[in-house]
Amino acid sequence: MQPLLASDPHRVGDYRLLARLGRGAMGGVYLGRSRGGRVVAVKVIRPDLAEDPEFRERFRREAVAASSVGGFWTAAVVHADPDAEQPWLATEYVPGPTLHQAVADHGPLPEATVRGLGAGLAEALIAIHRAELVHRDLKPANVLLGPDGPRVIDFGISRAMTGNALTATGMFMGTPGFFSPEQTLGDEVGPPSDVFSLGAVLVFAATGCGPFGEESTATLLYRVAHAEPDLSGVPDGLRPLLAACLAKDPAARPTPGQMLDEIGESSPHGAQWLPPAISDVIAQHATQLQQTASAQLPDTPPPQPVAEPKPATRSYTQSAPAPAPPQPAPQPAAPVVAARSEVEPMRGKIVPAQPRQTSQQPRVRRDNPGPVFATAGRFRALVSALVCLAIMYGAYRLAQSGLGAGGRYAIFQLGMLLLGISAAWSAARVVLPSLRLKVNSDGLLISRMGLTREIPWSQVQRVGVVGSGKRASVAVWFTEGAAQRSALWHRLRPHHGGARVFPIGATGGWLARRQEIRRVRTALQQHAPGRYDSRML
C-alpha cells in the first residue's frame, strides 16, 4: 500500500479512499472503506479513457460480467458505476499478493500448494462458466493468494458464450504464454480456452516459468500454437493432468469438474495451504490493512496543495495588505497570523505564480505486452546479390573472350555498373537489421539498430492498414501538433494527410504477408479502440 497522492481522488461514490494499491493500463486501484466500515478494492479508470465510448462500454461489460459470477474463488463485486464521470468498480479486498508476485519473490510453490491452487481455480472456472462467461485472460497476475484460498480477478476481456461480443471474433485477446492456441489462431474461444490457461498458470506456479518460456511475443505466439509445452520441471504427480490441460485440441482437455475429480480433496484450507513465507506476507498485509482501515480520517477530504487562496487574491489589490513572504525555515502557522497586521504591503514585489508542472510526455513502454512484427526479405536479397554477381562475372569473362572496344564496350561498362549497384544494394539489405514494430496498449513502438520511435495513442487520431500486397503498410494520422518527422533509420512516407510508418508488405512472402496483415489488423483492433479504422484499403 502507498499513501494517496494529491492528484488521487479521496472519495469515490460512497467509499472513502485510504491508500493506493497499484496502477494498471486502465487506471488506479485503491483501498477504500464504506460508511459502514467495509474494506474494498476500488478500480477507477483514467479520465482520458473515460472519454472513449468503446472503452467505457468495455468497463461496463466487465462490471456486469464480474457481478454475475458467484462462487468461492472469485473476488465478489460490491458496487460499480460505469456511468460516473470516472467509471469505477469496487470488489472485496483480498489481503495477499498475486501469484506472480509470490513466485517471483519466493520461488516455485510445493506440489501440495499447487494442487490446492488448482482445485480453487478449477472451482472458480466452474462458477465463471456457469454464468455463461469465458474469462479469456487467466494468468498469474490475475490470481490473488488470500489467507483462505486463491481469488480470480479482472474480467476486463471476458466474453459471453452466447450473443454478440464487443470485439470481433478472432481478435487477439489475452496474455502471450498463457492464452490458448485458439486465441492465437483466431478460432472460436470457449470454456476449454480457460482450462488451457489454467494449465499454464499451474505450470508457472510449480516451476516459476510458463510452459512456453519467456521469449518475445512472436516466439510465444508460435510456441503456443505449434510447440509442445515444457513440463520437465513439473512434479510427476501433476504432469499428466497439466499435459492434458495444455492439449492443442480443445476437445481433448478436461473440464474444470474433471480436474477437481483428478486433484481430489485438495481444496485450499485455512492458513495451511501456503508455504510459511507467503503466509507471513499475507499476515503482514492483513496487519497493514487493519492499521490503515482503523486510522482516523477527517470528515472532509485532505486539503489541496494550494493553501489560503483568498489572502493570495487580496494581495493583488492596492487596498489590502498581503501576508508575509515565507521564510527559509518557517515555523508553525501562528507567527504568520500574528504578523499579518505588521507587515507592509508588497506593492511592486508581487511574483507571478509559477506554471504548474505538467505530467511527462506519454511513453510507449517496451515491457508492455503486445505483438511484434519485423520486416523480412534477407534471403531474397542475398539471392539477388548472388545473381547480380554471377551475371557480372559471366559478362566479364565474355568480354575478355570477344567483346571489342567502342560503343558496345561503353554499353557493357554501363551494364556492369548498374549490376554492381544492384548487388551492393541487395548486400546492404542482407546486413541491415530488420525494422520492428510493436503494438501494445500504450501505442506503437518502432525500432531498428537500437534506435526507437514512440507513437503513443494519445497522439494518434486514426490508424489503419493501407495498400495491398507488397505495398501494404501501417498508416497513422497524428493529432494536431503531434506529427513526427522522418529519420535516417526510419522514413515516414506521406499518405493522404497521414504517414506510412511500417511496411507490412516487407514482412515475407505472399502467404506470410497475408498472415501478418491479419495479425496487424487484429492487434490494432485490440490495442487502439476508437482509433483503428477497418475501412482503409
Catalytic residues: 137
CA distances from 394 to 186, 387, 412 (A): 50, 11, 12
d(CA 243, CA 316): 75
The three cell numbers of residue 322 are 498581503
Please indicate if the annotation marks 43 as binding a ligand: yes
Provide the grid cell at 512. 506470410
Report CA-CA distances (Å) from 290 to 76, 170, 184, 352, 536. Answer: 20, 45, 43, 45, 55
The count of C-alpha atoms lying within 13 angstroms of the C-alpha of 305, restricted to the half-sphere facing its C-beta, is: 6
**Position 416, amino acid:** M
Cβ pair 178, 210 in contact under 8 A: yes
Torsion of CA 47, 48, 54, 58, to 10 degrees: -50
Contact 499, 443 (CB under 8 A): no
Question: Whats the size of the chain, residue-wise?
Answer: 537
> What single-letter amino acid sits at 239?
R
Secondary structure of the chain: what % helix, strand, coil (to 5)?
40, 15, 45
Q: Are 413 and 403 in contact (CB under 8 A)?
A: no
Three-class DSSP category at 94? coil
Q: Which residues are annotated as a binding site?
A: 43
Q: Which residues are annotated as a binding site for ATP?
A: 43
